[in-house]
Amino acid sequence: MYRYSMFILMVAFCLTAEINAQQTNASDSTMLRKIYSEALTNGKSYSWLDHLSNKIGGRLSGSSNAQKAVEYTKAQLEELGLDKVWLQPVMVPKWTRGTPEYAYVSTSTGGTKNVNICALGGSIATKKGGLKARVVEVSSFEELEELGEEIIKGKIVFYNRPMQADLISTFSAYGGCVNQRYSGAQEAAKYGAAGVIVRSMNLRLDDLPHTGSMSYGNIKPKDRIPAAAISTNDAEYLSSALALDPSLEFYYTMSCQQFPDAQSYNVIGEITGSEFPNEIIIVGGHLDSWDLGDGAHDDGAGVVQSMEVLRLFKESGIQPKRTLRVVLFMNEENGLRGARKYAQVAQQKNERHVFALESDAGGFTPRGFSFDCDKDNFVQIQSWKPLFKPYLIHYFEQGGSGADVGPLKGENVVLAGLRPDSQRYFDHHHAANDTFEHVNKRELELGAATMTSLVYLMDTYGIVKSPQKTKIKG
């Protein structure tokens, strides 16, 4: 009789748990529907991006446009009626491009052809009058080393390793060749090169050079060489021309300049948590951008989507249990100063971050998220996948998160990155066509709603905490 009673109780318990789970899922489903409806019918992300892109423009760290973006986003967050909005001071690098770059190829028969280049961020200028030298084409640092100083000295090194087109993840393709942009000048300078030209990080063939950050590492200032990106069409031309005429020369002139560090700010706003105010959830993107376009996809989209998350919480009547904070980071593109400063201050204040979500992969159709977390938290996150199915969100994978939230990595904190469709991203990345008209309003709004939905679930259920590790004495 006792066993029978226990069996009945167990069955009743399981049925009750299942009913409660169904009710919870129904409640969550209703809330997600409300979030998506608000974002798609009354969203503000697109109008915010319009202002950032068309009224302010490119926002290179330390520039007047970057400061305008700080002031504008702070004012917009204040208009949302958040519990607190503030600026977090941070010193950032200040590099300017100067006058437009100019380049041409000169053949041994006397012919010339103008080509499209742009200085890489952080590069020194060419000497007055420009630089003209013969060209050595390489596809890797290993090939550069094999050629050595005897071949390289006094010449312009042309890095021509394309992004791998058969990789479905364009970010993987980017990662497979971006070292030639970032460290190409540093490596070539070791062998006495006069300068560096790098094939743009772009999967399609066009006439737009793509800038991006580069580093000289520990190369002394007197030994540094100018570095520029060349468009993919002109990289193809230069490679073909070299095959026919190995003695051709390349000329380019750049007037870029590095200034002392400048004062700037992270922009922060928050809604105080109702139950666990000391547990902090953040959403964010980087406010700075390169200067060739207006930074609409990289990362104006991430900025306005992150702002929209807090607006959607307020408009949907969601009072977060945990403190919800938006952080618009300064200087992701050429230094990560804003991210490091935010993490440093958080550590000094002993703040407890439990979840950090970044949007920095463009304003394209959202596909899902990647998570930097332990197995237990990932299992919980995967249990929410059915809630996202109606919105065609399916990608939930463990992996990276984002450059700006990365410094917050630690025990009992989940990091994540929004993963939109990536196939068109590198058509625009760091180029003159990263502009507002290439952002689709609906795709941008879907991204903001998807971020808000994940934040809502993380806030509602909390993270799965790792067991405390016991120190063994002895």
Q: What are phi and psi of 277, to 5 degrees?
A: -65, -20
What is the rounded distance in angstroms from the CA atom of residue 208 to the CA atom of residue 388?
37
pTM for the predicted model, two decimal places: 0.92
What is the rounded distance in angstroms from the CA atom of residue 400 to the CA atom of residue 372?
6
Spatial neighbors of 330 by CB under 8 A, at least 6 apart, are 61, 66, 70, 90, 92, 264, 265, 266, 286, 287, 288, 337, 338
Q: Which amino acid is residue 177, in one-letter code?
A: C
- Copy the structure tokens of residue 320: 């977060």
Query: Residue 411 has what pLDDT?
Result: 87
Q: What does each C-alpha distance from 290 to 34, 172, 253, 297 come to in angstroms? A: 36, 22, 20, 11
- Copy the structure tokens of residue 251: 């000329």
Q: What are phi and psi of 106, to 5 degrees?
A: -120, 115
What is the rounded distance in angstroms from the CA atom of residue 50 to the CA atom of residue 296?
8
Confidence of residue 15 (pLDDT cuts 50, 70, 90): very low
Render pLDDT for 38-62 as a digit per residue (tens, 0 to 9).
999 999 999 999 999 999 999 999 9
Q: Which amino acid is residue 361, in one-letter code?
A: A
Residue among 455, 170, 441 nearest 301 (CA): 441
Query: Residue 229 has what pLDDT?
Result: 98
- Copy the structure tokens of residue 459: 């806030």
Q: Which amino acid is residue 362, in one-letter code?
A: G
pLDDT for residue 137 is more than 70: yes
pLDDT for residue 79 is more than 70: yes
Q: Catalytic residues, which ones? A: 332
What is the rounded distance in angstroms from the CA atom of residue 426 to the CA atom of residue 439?
13
CB 265 within 8 A of CB 35: no
Mean pLDDT of 120-129: 97
What is the rounded distance in angstroms from the CA atom of residue 5 to the CA atom of residue 407?
54
Query: Residue 474 has what pLDDT?
Result: 32
> Of all helices (H) and strands (E), which one includes residue 417?
strand 414-420
Render pLDDT for 282-291 as a digit per residue (tens, 0 to 9).
999 999 999 9
Helix 2-42 / helix 301-315 crossing angle, nearest 10 deg:
120
Query: Residue 1 has what pLDDT?
Result: 52
Helices (H), 316-382: 337-348, 375-382
pLDDT for residue 151 is more than 70: yes
- Name the DSSP letter for residue 165: T
Q: How many residues does the chain have?
A: 474
> Of all helices (H) and strands (E), which one includes residue 378?
helix 375-382
Place of tokens 């423009």: 57
* Cβ neighbour number for residue 410 with a 10 Å cutoff: 11
Query: Residue 3 has what pLDDT?
Result: 53
Query: Residue 13 has what pLDDT?
Result: 38
Mean pLDDT of 161-187: 97
What is the rounded distance in angstroms from the CA atom of residue 447 to the CA atom of residue 456?
14
Alpha-carbon radius of gyration of the chain: 25
Place of tokens 């400063």: 341
- Name the DSSP letter for residue 298: I
The 3-state DSSP composition of the chain as helix, strand, coil percent (nearest 5) reads 40, 25, 35
Query: Residue 418 has what pLDDT?
Result: 98
pLDDT for residue 249 is more than 60: yes
Mean pLDDT of 16-24: 42
What is the rounded distance in angstroms from the CA atom of residue 38 to the CA atom of residue 448?
11
CB 343 within 8 A of CB 284: no
Mean pLDDT of 448-462: 98
Spatial neighbors of 205 by CB under 8 A, at least 6 apart, are 232, 233, 236
pLDDT for residue 5 is more than 80: no
pLDDT for residue 191 is more than 90: yes
CA 370, 371, 377: angle at the middle one, nearest 5?
140
Query: Residue 26 has what pLDDT?
Result: 86
Spatial neighbors of 399 by CB under 8 A, at least 6 apart, are 370, 371, 372
Render pLDDT for 354-412 as a digit per residue (tens, 0 to 9).
999 999 999 999 999 999 999 999 999 999 999 999 999 999 999 999 999 999 999 89
Mean pLDDT for all residues in the chain: 94
- Copy the structure tokens of residue 431: 């180029």
Strand partners, 86: 268
- Name the DSSP letter for residue 171: H
Q: Which amino acid is residue 73, in one-letter code?
A: T
Mean pLDDT of 305-331: 97
Q: Which amino acid is residue 258, in one-letter code?
A: Q
CB 371 within 8 A of CB 395: no
Place of tokens 């010449």: 155
Render pLDDT for 251-283 as a digit per residue (tens, 0 to 9).
999 999 999 999 999 999 999 999 999 999 999
Strand partners, 87: 267
Helix, strand counts (H, E) of the chain: 13, 16
- Copy the structure tokens of residue 394: 């399916």
